[in-house]
Structure 1
Amino acid sequence: MQEKSRSVLGYNRMKIPYVIQSSAENPKGLAIMLPGIGYTVKSPLFHFSSGAFLNKEYDVLHVNYPYYSIDYENFSFEEITSALINDVSTVLNEVVNHTIYKSYYVLGKSFGTMAIPTALDILPIENTKAVWLTPRLIDLSVYQTLRACKQDGLCVIGDKDPFYDVVKMNNIILNPSIECMIPTNANHALEVDNDIL
């Protein structure tokens, strides 16, 4: 496997690192990983997703935004959200403008799902799919995109997740482009307390 580490200047000219992993000479597409603030690309859902895409001969893009660092400690949540959207746009424009992929998958977890609407606007609609892991349904852009997007997608959220909202999920289920999985008793980590299996 090859790995290329790069960075762009993002919001407030802060350095945003990213990594492109590749296992094929002619990749079938690009899988973009947008982690949460405390849930990195090394965490299980992204670790195993990355491996699955590499096995299917996709390149994998890990956007490693450093919002947990001291540089961001005085940012409000709204400003960090603005940074996320700006930084993901900047990375995607850098990567997509210098490569030609036939297919795209965008995977976001929690905070990272707030950048999926922007990613879907940048990437070609007919060749892009999204995986929404524990989406922040309280974010209007996330909810509206899940309700109305045309790109095929998968939304996974447990019914014990603090962002789970039965009314919103019932509306999202009506979108024929989105397949929904609602694991019973699963929390924000998509785990069931006291039941590791």
Structure 2
Amino acid sequence: MPRPSQFVVPTRFDGAPDRVAVVVPGIGYSPARPLLHFARAVLLQHGWTVQELWWQVPDGFSQLPVDDRVAWVERQVTRAVDAEEGACGLLVGKSLGSLACGVAADRNIAAAWLTPILTNDHVARALRRAQAPTLVIGGSADKLWDPRIAESLRHDVLEVPSADHALELADDAAGSVDVLRQVVSRLDRFIGSLGGRARS
């Protein structure tokens, strides 16, 4: 008797083999959610290979010390970057994924951070020392966004007025779509500016 077919979520989308972008989710914001879904679409439009990370954080994760949470995220992202054997040229991360800012800084990998946790000292320090092209996008109504730190960064920064941690506007679905369009356009411009950049 044939086995029933199973739906499998693809995690890799092929483009140029020497230009791989790793997409890193948030704690509850998977690569299927709008910001990361359209980030993937933009990357594919520019010819990149996209490797998505799908993870399930450990039980009690939010109660762990900050250093332990950072270490866990860095392990997941480092494993994905190392698997690309030098082809990883870009990290695109949402929220919790920004705890891997240090990986991008240490390895000179370009990055686009969507709603990074700027209230976390590790993230702020890593963003300040990053030398590779970096895009930082957050909303002014996000409690994990620090406008003073954002303003101090020498990177490409977009702060969306009144947007929350999902880069959406409260009680304004149509306005939230407009914000998504703005974010996707900024990502498109940033990714286009990278050209054929692979990790050096």
Q: Which TM bucket (shorter chain)?
A: 0.7 to 0.9
Say whether the 8 Å CA contact 1:143–1:168 is kept in structure 2. yes
Q: Which of 72, 77, 80 pairs up with 2:64?
A: 77
* Distance in 1 separating the partners of 2:29 and 2:12: 19
Tell me the equivalent position of 1:9.
none
* Higher percent of residues as helix: 2
Q: Mean Cα displacement is larger for which, 58-67 or 139-148?
A: 139-148
Say whether the 8 Å CA contact 2:91–2:104 is kept in structure 1. yes
Q: State the AA in 1 paired with 2:102.
A: P
Deviation at 1:64, TM superposition (A): 1.3
3-state SS of 2:136 partner = strand
Tell me the equivalent position of 1:133.
114
Change (3 A) 1:159 1:44: same
3-state SS of 1:73 partner = coil
Q: State the AA in 1 paired with 2:74.
A: I
* Distance in 1 separating the partners of 2:69 and 2:147: 27
Say whether the 8 Å CA contact 2:26–2:97 is kept in structure 1. yes
* Distance in 2 separating the partners of 1:19 and 1:141: 28
Q: Which of 11, 20, 29 pairs up with 2:12?
A: 20
Deviation at 1:28, TM superposition (A): 5.5
Deviations 1:133-192 (A, max 9, x none): 1110122121012223111111111110011223222222xx1xx111111101101011
Residues 1:33 and 2:14 are matched in the alignment: no
3-state SS of 1:157 partner = strand
Deviation at 1:53, TM superposition (A): 1.0
Higher RCO, 1 or 2 (CA under 8 Å, sep at least 6)?
2
TM-score by length of 2: 0.73
Q: State the AA in 2 paired with 1:39.
A: Y
Residues 1:146 and 2:134 are matched in the alignment: no
Deviation at 1:130, TM superposition (A): 0.8
Say whether the 8 Å CA contact 1:41–1:62 is kept in structure 2. yes
Unaligned runs of 5+ in 2: 1-7, 175-200
Tell me the equivalent position of 1:43.
33
Q: State the AA in 1 paired with 2:52.
A: H
* Distance in 2 separating the partners of 1:91 and 1:39: 18
Residues 1:106 and 2:106 are matched in the alignment: no
Deviations 1:70-99 (A, max 9, x none): xx2144333343221122212221x222xx
- The count of residues paired between Structure 1 and Structure 2 equals 163
Tell me the equivalent position of 1:192.
169
Tell me the equivalent position of 1:160.
141
Unaligned runs of 5+ in 1: 6-17
Say whether the 8 Å CA contact 1:160–1:188 is kept in structure 2. yes
Deviations 1:81-119 (A, max 9, x none): 3221122212221x222xx53x61211111001013213
* Distance in 1 separating the partners of 2:18 and 2:44: 10
3-state SS of 2:140 partner = coil
* Distance in 1 separating the partners of 2:32 and 2:97: 14
* Distance in 2 separating the partners of 1:117 and 1:161: 22
